[in-house]
Amino acid sequence: MLQVEVRRPNRGDIVAMEHFFRFVITDTFAKEGLEDLLEDMEQEIDSKNGYLNADLDTNGEQRYFLIGLLDNNIVSCIEFGPSNALIREATDGEWRDVVEIGTVFVHPDYQQQGIGNLMLNVMYLTLHNKGMTEFCLDSGYSHAQKIWKKRLGEPDYVLQNHWGSGADHMIWRRRLADVPVLFRL
């Protein structure tokens, strides 16, 4: 298995993270057949940069990132923060106080090598250590949805055709004690 260092980001990581977000999001849009949606792609990139800045500006109080490095190069990231507007709207506000795990990215050259599982497990431990017992997660990307369904089971909400005909948006809510992990909390 690859020896990935997992740590909190710092201000010295901002430029590398901005490049990482742009590369991974551009790749994801291309794989999803969405590469023509340049404005949406830029909004997604800006959103992730905003989340990172919120983390760094508040020392992890508003958003909380972890990054994975291999040979000092960022190969993955994950974060948690308040549930997003789409989740709150879809659940009629019921999940407004449930933290959302998001920005789960693995560099395309390192996917399917266990790095995503490592990042998710470290995040589960982080949430547990902060006294949290559950989380929510959402995805509009069909490739990611397959991974999440395999990892978390069927979603709690499916917003059918949310992104266009046949392009659903899925939302999960899970208790930490119920999620499959490589090690038990």
**185 within a domain of the structure (yes/no):** no
**100 within a domain of the structure (yes/no):** yes
**141 within a domain of the structure (yes/no):** no
Local confidence pLDDT in tens for the 185 residues of the chain: 679 999 999 999 999 999 999 999 998 888 877 666 668 778 989 999 999 999 999 999 999 999 999 999 999 999 999 999 999 999 999 999 999 999 899 999 999 898 999 999 999 999 999 999 999 999 877 788 898 898 899 999 998 876 667 778 899 999 998 887 654 43
CATH number at residue 122: 3.40.630.30
Q: Using alpha carbons, select from 14, 137, 1 the residue that is nearest to residue 74.
A: 14
CA distance 64 to 179: 20
**174 within a domain of the structure (yes/no):** no
Domain of residue 131 covers: 5-135
N- to C-terminal Cα distance for the chain?
22
Phi, psi of 75 (to 5 degrees): -120, -5
Number of domains, the chain: 1
Q: Using alpha carbons, select from 26, 121, 30, 17 the residue that is nearest to residue 77.
A: 17
Judging by DSSP bridges, how do beta strands 99-106 and 73-82 pair with one another? antiparallel
**148 within a domain of the structure (yes/no):** no
Query: Which pLDDT score, from 0 to 100, does residue 34 have?
Result: 66
- The half-sphere exposure of 48 on its side-chain side, counting CA atoms within 13 A, is 26
Query: Which pLDDT score, from 0 to 100, does residue 165 have?
Result: 72
Q: Using alpha carbons, select from 9, 161, 179 the residue that is nearest to residue 79.
A: 9
**64 within a domain of the structure (yes/no):** yes
Question: For tokens 């470290």, what's the residue?
Answer: 122
**145 within a domain of the structure (yes/no):** no
**33 within a domain of the structure (yes/no):** yes
